[in-house]
């Protein structure tokens, strides 16, 4: 079985319009904390701040040479040896190909191997069960249930808070690596 070619490349200025389009897609905004239509001036402010902030890193997810999503680290706090992360796949045709799992593996590796951090955190709307279960399959543990944490469509929604420690990853990594290799990914 041949796996698709997936690359994480740094976000560049030419990605600005694409990211606004993606962030405004209903299937993306449904799982984000904000769900209003993002205006160009609002997006420009976010984009410029995001690229200038040393506590954040952004990558475009490319599948077979085409941009299909975004992943990022935020709240990078070296003094506390932790950060948080998020990602989305904007192209629905990417689902079921292992792209999310591959991105998850690469981001976790980057955080613990390249940054030498001790903890990676994330938050997921409780209704996005497929994503928080994917995180758990990589060793993340549920650390919190934030009740009525965000308001969307005029109603409160709960959020699952998850965390992965470097020692948990060391124990989980061989199994995660095995699963990805079974899907045909070369992770040498």
1 falls within a domain: no
Domain with 143 in it: 6-182
What's residue 2's pLDDT? Answer: 67
Domain count across the chain:
1
The residue to which tokens 């549920």 are assigned: 142
Cα–Cα distance, 169 to 175 (Å, whole number): 10
DSSP state of 30: T
> In order along the chain (188 residues), what is the average pLDDT of each group of 10 residues?
84 97 94 91 96 97 96 97 97 88 97 97 96 96 97 94 98 96 86
Q: Concatenate the DSSP letters of all residues of 125-167 into one string.
A: ETT-HHHHHHHHHTT-EEEEEEEEEEEETTEEEEEEEEEEEHH
First to last CA, the chain: 17
Give yes or no for a contact between 103 and 176, defined as CB atoms under 8 angstroms apart: no
Strand, helix or coil for residue 117: coil
Strand, helix or coil for residue 89: strand
* Token couple for 43: 């997006």
188 falls within a domain: no
CATH of the domain at 112: 3.40.630.30
Cα–Cα distance, 65 to 103 (Å, whole number): 15
187 falls within a domain: no
């Amino acid at each position: 079985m041949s796996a698709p070619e997936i690359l994480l490349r740094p976000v560049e200025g030419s990605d600005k319009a694409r990211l606004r389009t993606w962030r405004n897609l209903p299937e993306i905004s449904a799982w984000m904390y904000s769900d209003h239509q993002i205006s160009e001036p609002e997006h420009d402010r976010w984009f410029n701040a995001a690229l200038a902030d040393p506590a954040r890193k952004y990558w475009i997810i490319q599948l077979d040479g085409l941009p299909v999503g975004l992943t990022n680290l935020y709240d990078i706090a070296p003094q506390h040896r932790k950060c948080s992360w998020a990602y989305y796949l904007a192209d629905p045709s990417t689902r079921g190909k292992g792209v999310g799992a591959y991105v998850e593996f690469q981001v976790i590796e980057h955080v613990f191997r390249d940054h030498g951090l001790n903890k990676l955190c994330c938050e997921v709307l409780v209704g996005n069960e497929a994503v928080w279960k994917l995180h758990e399959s990589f060793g993340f543990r549920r650390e919190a249930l934030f009740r009525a944490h965000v308001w969307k469509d005029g109603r409160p929604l709960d959020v699952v808070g998850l965390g992965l420690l470097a020692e948990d990853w060391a124990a989980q990594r061989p199994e995660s690596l095995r699963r990805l290799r079974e899907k045909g990914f070369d992770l040498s």
